[in-house]
């Protein structure tokens, strides 16, 4: 039986891994990702929002488009 602490740790590790992948995808698509976007992305804690953002990377034509989606996601998280 897994302890609650182990489950929480595993979930946090998973979120951090997803964030690393998202940043790598952004860097691959746009060549450069400003620190402000990296910082905002690291504040997202909801896995559903991280999933949403992964889809938005594919659809974003510009880094600014993605940043708009990121802002909306951050607002959604704070509600």
Q: Where are the chain's structural domains?
A: 4-77
Q: What is the pLDDT of residue 3?
A: 84
- pLDDT 10s digits, 16-55: 999 999 999 999 999 999 999 999 999 999 999 999 999 9
CA distances from 5 to 14, 15, 34, 45, 79 (A): 14, 15, 34, 17, 26
Give the pTM: 0.84
Band (pLDDT 50/70/90 cuts) for residue 1 is low
Cβ distance 53 to 76 under 8 Å? Answer: no
């Amino acid at each position: 039986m897994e302890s609650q602490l182990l489950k929480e740790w595993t979930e946090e590790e998973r979120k951090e891994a997803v964030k690393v992948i998202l940043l790598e995808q952004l860097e691959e698509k746009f060549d450069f990702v400003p620190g402000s976007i990296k910082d905002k992305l690291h504040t997202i804690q909801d896995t559903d929002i991280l999933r949403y953002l992964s889809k938005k990377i594919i659809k974003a034509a510009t880094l600014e488009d993605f940043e708009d989606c990121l802002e909306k996601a951050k607002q959604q998280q704070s509600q």
